[in-house]
């Protein structure tokens, strides 16, 4: 299994992100502070791709703008209008947004790169892997509920049964432990690895 099969390795080469590999490795192992999840690392890597594309296009951006562009392109809570506006600005600067979005990687691609290409192993990786897989299932369900709600509201709006301006749908899943009384969003609970009962 060589780096030829790794999307992450190819992109590091294409975008000349030489230091990125070591940075991902350190962050995953927690060598430089708090350990970051594979999901966080995928976001971090994709943001670096976007920044490299902005750099290569010679686009003028202010501090924090690339991170905001990334949020506008990828965050489910961003309205369609705002997302289109962001895409258009990047397009005008000469960035092929469709190609860039195709290049964005998943946490699985990051894991493959770190374990197979860089040969990194993390002791509780299988545990982390299971949590990430279950989190993925919940995320898919949440986004399915969001889509159904949005479609329903749109249909009622079109049929004049409901009046609503530009809107956003929020689907939050909270868990409350009856023993310690603490309440967390499901993603916070998974990140923490438990409630206050410990």
Distances (CA, A) of 66 to 15, 78, 99: 16, 16, 17
21 and 110 co-located in one domain: yes
Instruction: Kindly state the DSSP code that residue 197 receives in the 8-state scheme.
Output: T
Q: Which residues pair with 184 in a beta bridge?
A: 175
What is the Cα–Cα distance from 1 to 75, expressed in whole angstroms?
33
Q: Among 75, 95, 117, where does a domain finish? A: 117
Alpha helices in the chain (DSSP H): 7-14, 20-29, 38-57, 65-74, 80-92, 97-103, 107-112, 125-158, 186-192
pTM, whole model, 2 decimals?
0.62
Tens of pLDDT, residue by residue, the chain (198 residues): 444 469 999 999 999 998 999 999 999 988 777 788 899 999 999 999 999 999 999 998 888 899 999 999 999 889 999 999 999 999 999 999 999 999 999 999 999 999 999 998 876 555 667 788 788 888 888 888 988 999 999 999 999 999 999 999 999 899 999 988 889 889 888 888 888 875
User: Which domain does 155 fall in, by range?
Assistant: 127-192
Number of domains in the chain: 2
Does residue 141 form part of some domain?
yes
User: Looking at the structure, do residues 101 and 178 belong to the same domain, yes or no?
Assistant: no
């Amino acid at each position: 299994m060589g780096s030829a099969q790794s999307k992450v390795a190819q992109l590091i080469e294409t975008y000349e992100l030489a230091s990125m590999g070591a940075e991902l490795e350190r962050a995953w192992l927690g060598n430089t502070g708090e350990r970051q999840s594979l999901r966080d690392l995928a976001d971090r890597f994709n943001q670096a791709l976007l920044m490299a594309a902005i750099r290569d296009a010679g686009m003028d951006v202010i501090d924090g703008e690339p991170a905001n562009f990334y949020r506008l392109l990828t965050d489910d809570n961003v309205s369609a209008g705002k997302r289109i506006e962001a895409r258009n600005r990047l397009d005008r600067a000469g960035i092929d947004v469709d190609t860039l979005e195709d290049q964005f990687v998943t946490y699985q691609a990051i894991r493959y790169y770190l374990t197979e290409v860089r040969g990194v192993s993390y002791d509780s990786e299988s545990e982390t892997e299971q949590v990430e897989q279950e989190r993925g299932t919940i995320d898919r369900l949440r986004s399915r509920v969001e889509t159904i709600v949005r479609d329903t509201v749109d249909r009622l709006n079109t049929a004049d049964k409901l009046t609503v301006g530009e809107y956003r749908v929020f689907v939050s899943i909270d868990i409350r432990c009856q023993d310690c009384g603490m309440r967390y969003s499901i993603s916070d609970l998974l990140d923490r690895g438990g409630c206050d009962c410990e």
